[in-house]
Amino acid sequence: MAISRRSMMLGTAAGGAAALTLAACGGDDGGSGGGSGAGGGSGEPIYANTTEPENPLIPTNTGEVGGGRIVTMLFAGLVYYTADGSAENDIAESIESEDNQNWTITIREGLTYSDGSTPITAQDFVDAWNFGANAANAQIGQYFFEPFEGYEELSAEDVAEDATLSGLEVVDDLTFTARLVSPQSDFPTRLGYSAYMPLPPSAFDDIEAYGESPLANGPYILESWSHDTELVLVPNEHYDGPRAPQNSGITFTVYQDPETLYLDLQSDNVDVVDQLPGSALATFEDDLGDRAVNDPGAVFQSITLPGYDKNFEGEAGTLRRRAISRAIDRQSICDNLFFGTRTPATDFVSPVVPGGGATDIPGSEVLEFDEAEAKKLWDEAEAITPFEGPLTLAYNSDGPHADWVEAVCNSLSNVLGIDAQPTPFAAFGEMREQIRARELQGTWRSGWQADYPSAYNFLGPLYGSAAADGNGSNDGDYKNPDFDQLLSDGLAAETEEEAIALWKEAEALLMRDLPVLPLWYQNTIGGYSTLVSDVEYGWDTVPLYHQVTK
Amino acid sequence: MLWYIGRRLLQMIPVFLGATLIVYLMAFYTSGDPILALAGDKPISPAVEQQLREQYNLDKPVLVQWLIYLKNVLTFDLGVGFNGRPIMDQIAAAFPTTARLAIIAVVIETLFGVIAGVISGLRKGKLIDTTLLMLSLLLIATPTFVLGFLAQFVFGLQLGIAPINVGRDPSWVNLLLPGFVLGGVSFAYVLRLTRTSIAETAEADHVRTATAKGLSRGGVVSKHILRNSLIPVLTFIGADLGALMGGAIVTERVFNVPGIGTLLFSSIISGESPMIVSLVTLLVIIFLLSNLVVDLLYGVLDPRIRYAK
């Protein structure tokens, strides 16, 4: 998914950009579920920050961090993600395939929703996925069903409301099969994403009303939701799984301004925080000491140089892309503007997912700052076809981007001797509209937050030909058959190591062609109060709330 | 009198139509494509996009959208926001909090502003007058968010006597500090207006006559000076009530108050035209109504002003 609109707006320093949590401390800790009730904690709930969920809490219609963190606590999917980003079974007994294309999924026996009487069945998964995939229901997460057979039919403009995915079949109460359009070796890893949660039969009676107070199967129950103010979650005593709550509940408070949030954190009014104001970036590690969190996260930031811009076409274009990349001093911007809360990129995949943060991709020296080399490359490009300036770098000023965009443009002007201009858009939607219509001239800032911890999620949706021309998130319309081939070879690979090796080869092609210039990975930043312990943040920058003790 | 009120109320209709049309056009042309913003950087299939556009009437020309909006206003059903909740419900939930905040601010600015203004006006040129004038200048010159953060830092973090985050429980007591901050700038204006007016009236002939008749100082001040000086102050306060509700955007953000200001800010960010228009219209109506009340109060303060016809 990507950095959602709301997180861009609020994320002055946006540690809190993450899409989803699903994670846990591996293993079974203490007061495990299965009816043992309120987990290990008692008394005061954990207080945490959130933004108001943008939609009712329907898993397939939740694509932003505010709703995602709640949905992940309320629902349990087939798998969940541990802090290091590996996928473990949550309610799945097994997820098996011989060819990475035809999958058989079995769920554990005897599980129920939080009412204790509605059993969780294979049919619930199939119904929920069919609902999400059917365009008539206009779910934001609809594209997550793209890998399934029958997705094309369900994406037609006038699809019948009861049409279903031909690739899904119920075998018995606990087993169902999924047929994909092509092999996808990371399919089980995806299933921890919120779009793949099960829904009880009663959900479909009135889905909007259901989203206000969902009957779900996760570690927590939604006790109350005062819109724009707070959401109160209490442990679900019928949850029997690896994410048993270690506290007596979580109260999420909606914060409008990260400054207020930070003051509340300093006075112990809020316990676990994953967002900081820009003004605290320089000082929060001193202010909070051991309670400060600052580690690389699953957010990748870049500048897109569109393939349809004449300046970036052909041989001159390739040279020019390299020249611009080498004229940006990533380290200095990360240190001076972001106070070390960004990590300079060495590849196209965030270091928190397996195979990401690689430093051995051939051609990756193009990401290193070198004024002389930049100037030389630019002059070579000029000798072939002259640049038609000025060079514009568009960004949305409702997010925290003005400073670094200014810095990058200054650097380009100084090093290359060209006219580089920051081009602000007042609203994110305004910029998206122009990108979508392919009307935005020049370059623009872009970002990506992984939906699930797989290197493929940083590559396929962004640079694959299938996602170009408005069919996905390949906004620069990068097309390279060799790259596509390596991507799909990786998906068909038998082991993860094999897949990663192939995807690294694909990344080497990106280093050569530079459809986007990698800038930096956004760190998980945040902190916690003096009242709590066992605080850990997931691969996706969201805290693992269930294991926090107070 | 009733005729006058009726005429004033009828005048609101064209103002309402004009205001909603202008705001609708502005929201439509400035905020970009709300559906794309809703999806973020994520892909969205054309079928889903089409479905959403139809759902929010975004596939129709802007004038048609406005007419649909007007029709909705007449039926008291403003439709559903992007977050799936009825717009009416959202406004109804946020309004009482902001109204409370604005009432606190108005009471504070009126009470303290008039008292300080009277003291200042009667002691023109003295130390206390100069001090109050300096204080008011300082308040006017300080941006509200600075004042807010300062108050939050001192009373919330350092002294711990006021909540930093009011959102959890926006009760009257908890809203006192934000109310003070919101009313701060207006307090300075009320002080200055009252002071000037009082100082002028204090030298008027009828005041000298009243004093000469042997009336007590208190009687002279309250009956002969203050009453005659309040008209400009009242005009300001009336106009300020609407401004305060709009100006709450900053204060509500600082203190995390879930009110109209917060709602307006987030709907502007997401380009949610029906919500923006409804909120702005609400503010316009409050503004018009409070102006009407002020005009009626003129007659009470100064019987020479009559609206009968």
Give the 3-state secondary structure of residue B193. Answer: helix
> Residues B212-252: pLDDT tens digits?
888 888 888 888 888 888 888 888 888 888 778 777 888 88
Give me the pLDDT at residue A7, please: 38
A157 interaction partners in chain B (CB closer than 8 Å): 46-47, 50
Q: Which residues contact A379 (CB under 8 A, 6 or more apart)?
A: none
> Residues A213-258: pLDDT tens digits?
999 999 999 999 998 889 999 999 999 999 999 999 999 999 988 8
A2 with B84: Cβ contact below 8 A: no
Contact A442, A391 (CB under 8 A): yes
Give me the residue from A140, A253, A398 closest to B39, CB to CB: A140
Contact A372, A416 (CB under 8 A): no
User: How many angstroms separate the CA atoms of A323 and A416, rounded?
Assistant: 8
Give me the pLDDT at residue A23, please: 32
Give me the residue from A54, A254, A467 closest to B83, CB to CB: A54
B38 with A473: Cβ contact below 8 A: no
Give me the pLDDT at residue B303, please: 77
> Residues A102-160: pLDDT tens digits?
999 999 999 999 999 999 999 999 999 999 999 899 888 898 999 999 998 988 888 88
pLDDT tier for residue A498 given thresholds of 50, 70 and 90: very high
B164 with A431: Cβ contact below 8 A: no
Chains A–B, number of C-beta pairs less than 8 Å apart:
173
Bridge partners (DSSP) listed for residue A226: A230
Contact A39, A485 (CB under 8 A): no
Give me the pLDDT at residue B31, please: 67
A228 with B48: Cβ contact below 8 A: no
The Cα-based distances of A133 to A157, A201, A440 in angstroms read: 13, 17, 31
Give me the pLDDT at residue A348, please: 94
The Cα-based distances of B193 to B106, B202, B206, B295 in angstroms read: 15, 14, 21, 18
User: How many angstroms separate the CA atoms of A462 and A476, rounded?
Assistant: 9
Give me the pLDDT at residue B308, please: 53
**What tokens does B172 get?**
């009257």
Best to test chain A binding among B29, B41, B276 (most A CBs inside 10 Å): B41
By CA distance, what is B256's nearest residue in A?
Answer: A256
Give me the pLDDT at residue A445, please: 93
Go through the domains of chain B in sequence order and give each one's CATH number: 94-306 (1.10.3720.10)
User: How many angstroms separate the CA atoms of A381 and A375, rounded?
Assistant: 10
B37 with A432: Cβ contact below 8 A: yes
Give me the pLDDT at residue A320, please: 93
Give me the residue from A139, A266, A433 closest to B36, CB to CB: A433
Q: How far is B191 from chain A (nearest CA, A)?
A: 31
Q: Output the CA angle A376-A378-A383, nearest 5 degrees.
A: 95
**What tokens does B62 get?**
């802007």
> Residues B141-174: pLDDT tens digits?
988 888 888 998 899 888 888 888 888 788 898 8
For residues A440-445, give the mean pLDDT: 90
pLDDT tier for residue A202 given thresholds of 50, 70 and 90: very high
pLDDT tier for residue A14 given thresholds of 50, 70 and 90: very low
A398 interaction partners in chain B (CB closer than 8 Å): 269
- DSSP annotation string for A335-390: HHTSTTSEEE-SSSS-TTSTT-S-S--TTGGGGS--HHHHHHHHHHHHHHS---S-
Contact A149, A181 (CB under 8 A): yes
Percentage of chain B lying above the pLDDT 90 cut: 12
The answer to whether residue A35 scores a pLDDT higher than 50 is no
B45 with A142: Cβ contact below 8 A: yes
Percentage of chain A lying above the pLDDT 90 cut: 63
Give me the pLDDT at residue B277, please: 86
B59 interaction partners in chain A (CB closer than 8 Å): none
> Whole-number mean pLDDT of chain A?
87
User: How many angstroms separate the CA atoms of A330 and A407, rounded?
Assistant: 10
B156 with A267: Cβ contact below 8 A: yes
User: pTM of the prediction?
Assistant: 0.83
B40 with A229: Cβ contact below 8 A: no
Q: Is the ipTM of this complex over 0.90?
A: no
pLDDT tier for residue B81 given thresholds of 50, 70 and 90: confident
The answer to whether residue B178 scores a pLDDT higher than 60 is yes
> Residues A161-171: pLDDT tens digits?
889 999 999 99
Please count the other Cβ atoms lying within 10 Å of the Cβ belonging to residue A530: 9
Best to test chain A binding among B26, B58, B154, B256 (most A CBs inside 10 Å): B256
Which CATH number is A52-235 given? Answer: 3.40.190.10
Q: Which residues contact A413 (CB under 8 A, 6 or more apart)?
A: A419, A420
Give me the residue from A5, A136, A269 closest to B164, CB to CB: A269
The answer to whether residue B208 scores a pLDDT higher than 80 is yes
Residue with tokens 């953000």: B253
All CATH 3.40.190.10 domain ranges of chain A, comma separated, are 52-235
Give me the pLDDT at residue A4, please: 42
Q: Point out the least confidently predicted range of A426-435, A515-524, B105-114.
A: A426-435
B41 with A260: Cβ contact below 8 A: no
B42 with A446: Cβ contact below 8 A: no
Kindly give the residue spans of alpha helices, DSSP state H, lying in B123-226: 127-141, 144-151, 176-201, 205-212, 217-219
Q: How far is A344 from chain B (nearest CA, A)?
A: 22
All CATH 3.10.105.10 domain ranges of chain A, comma separated, are 297-523
Percentage of chain B lying above the pLDDT 70 cut: 97
B41 with A2: Cβ contact below 8 A: yes
Q: How far is A112 from chain B (nearest CA, A)?
A: 28
A140 interaction partners in chain B (CB closer than 8 Å): 38-39, 42, 44, 48
Best to test chain B binding among A208, A212, A256, A529 (most B CBs inside 10 Å): A256
A56 with B34: Cβ contact below 8 A: no
Give me the pLDDT at residue A42, please: 59
**What tokens does B292 get?**
């009407």
B254 with A259: Cβ contact below 8 A: yes
| Better-predicted residue by pLDDT, A19 or A271 | A271
B263 interaction partners in chain A (CB closer than 8 Å): 228
CA atoms within 13 A on the CB side of A391: 27
> Residues A150-190: pLDDT tens digits?
998 988 888 888 899 999 999 999 999 999 999 998 899 99
A143 interaction partners in chain B (CB closer than 8 Å): 42-45
A138 with B156: Cβ contact below 8 A: no
User: How many angstroms separate the CA atoms of A202 and A220, rounded?
Assistant: 19
The answer to whether residue A437 scores a pLDDT higher than 80 is yes
Please count the other Cβ atoms lying within 10 Å of the Cβ belonging to residue A172: 10
By CA distance, what is B49's nearest residue in A?
Answer: A138
Q: How far is B219 from chain A (nearest CA, A)?
A: 48
For residues A278-299, give the mean pLDDT: 90
B44 interaction partners in chain A (CB closer than 8 Å): 140, 142-143
Distance of CA A490 to the CA centre of its chain: 21
Give me the pLDDT at residue A245, please: 94
Instruction: Give the pairing of strands A420-425 and A168-172.
Output: unpaired
pLDDT tier for residue A48 given thresholds of 50, 70 and 90: very high
A427 interaction partners in chain B (CB closer than 8 Å): 30-32, 37, 269, 271
Contact B302, B201 (CB under 8 A): no
- The CATH H-level superfamily of A297-523 is Dipeptide-binding Protein; Domain 3 (3.10.105.10)
Give me the pLDDT at residue A39, please: 45
For residues A337-354, give the mean pLDDT: 91
